[in-house]
Amino acid sequence: MINTTTSIRVRYGETDPMKYVYYGNYAEYFEVARVELFRSLGMSYDEIEKRGIFLPVSEYKIKYLKPALYDQLLEIRTYVRKIPGIRIEFDYEIYNEENVKITEASTTLFFLDSESNKIVKCPDYLMELIEKKWNPNIEN
């Protein structure tokens, strides 16, 4: 498994009149967390794209346990629990400042060759970085 933690402070423009984070903004939070996970592996998302691979989202599932509120500092814990093939699956947990889990989510992305527009397996250069950081002994 690979896991990272990313912090995001809720901005006013991301909230509704109750100062709850608007539900549509969570997808962007998870994108930030995924990008940071790739960066922690040693390769930016931009570099992956420059090498001809896109990662479109094919599935997105979320469970709201409690609201995230304006100006809260959120901690997004991101996990890759399975070695990728043609897909890579991410699990997320969001915790508030009191360390209370407020959201659970998952996304599935697939590897898409930008030239052929065909689904491909995880590129070797990325798989090598994943395998270097992979820790089978981590459990959540």
CA distances in angstroms from 104 to 25, 26, 54, listed in the order given = 14, 10, 25
Helix, strand or coil for residue 131?
Answer: helix
pLDDT digits (tens, 9 = 90+) for 2-22: 999 999 999 999 999 999 999
User: Predicted confidence band at 137 (pLDDT cuts at 50, 70, 90)?
Assistant: confident
117 backbone φψ class: left, alpha, beta (φ>0; ψ -120 to 50): left
- For the chain, domain boundaries: 2-133
Position 138 scores a pLDDT of: 64
Q: pTM of the full predicted structure?
A: 0.94
pLDDT digits (tens, 9 = 90+) for 65-108: 999 999 999 999 999 999 999 999 999 999 999 999 999 999 99
Pick one of 1.10.760.10, 3.30.360.10, 3.10.129.10, 3.50.90.10 as the CATH number of 2-133.
3.10.129.10
